Amino acid sequence: MPKPAATVEEFLRQLDAPLRAVVESLRQTLLAADPAVGEQIKWNSPSFYYTGPMAPFDPKEYRRDIVVLNLHRSHPLLVFPTGATIPDPTGLLEGTYADGRRLVPIRDLADAQAKAATLQQVVRAWLERVEPA
């Protein structure tokens, strides 16, 4: 696990080349989904969030957070904190958790690339449910 980083670029520099390529591919896929998607380091991982206006809300609801990229046993695991609220006809989102999160495991670069279009579709579905300020 990399040491805490202030930026996504710092996080990426700490990864070994094969894993870095997978994470960078996922990063580019998520950022390309919509111009309103931003990135930051949150929970010690690259996190992607909605940058647009929103009505005030309880921060514990994680309404601005779209997806967190965790390294799970050296493989990326995409965690959608509010994934249970996203309409997902693609079946990409996995798991049923009491806290409402859903997951997308990524095995390798080929898997990340194969899931890219569907992942962007899920991110856009998440964005459609955002309530602007």
pLDDT band at 126 (very low <50, low <70, confident <90, very high): very high
pLDDT of residue 132: 67
Indicate the pTM of the whole model: 0.90
DSSP codes, 46-94: EEEEE-S------GGG--SEEEEEEEETTEEEEEETTGGGS--TT---B
Whether 19 maps to a domain, the answer reads yes
**43 phi and psi angles, rounded to 5 deg:** 55, 35
Instruction: Report the share of the chain in percent with pLDDT over 90.
Output: 72
DSSP codes, 29-51: HHHHT-TTEEEEEETTEEEEEE-
Whether 23 maps to a domain, the answer reads yes
In the numeric block, which tokens belong to residue 47?
Answer: 């996190």
Question: Exposed, middle or buried by CB within 10 Å (0-12, 13-18, 19+), for 3?
Answer: exposed
Over the stretch 59-77, which tens digit does the pLDDT of each residue have? 777 788 999 999 877 789 9
Whether 3 maps to a domain, the answer reads no
Over the stretch 76-118, which tens digit does the pLDDT of each residue have? 999 999 999 998 989 999 998 999 999 999 999 999 999 999 9
pLDDT band at 1 (very low <50, low <70, confident <90, very high): very low
Whether 2 maps to a domain, the answer reads no
pLDDT band at 58 (very low <50, low <70, confident <90, very high): confident
pLDDT band at 3 (very low <50, low <70, confident <90, very high): low
CATH of the domain at 82: 3.90.1150
Whether 121 maps to a domain, the answer reads yes
User: In whole angstroms, what is the distance from residue 85 CA to residue 28 CA?
Assistant: 24
90: containing domain: 8-128
Whether 80 maps to a domain, the answer reads yes
Cα distance between the two ends of the chain: 37
Number of domains in the chain: 1
- pLDDT > 80? residue 50: yes
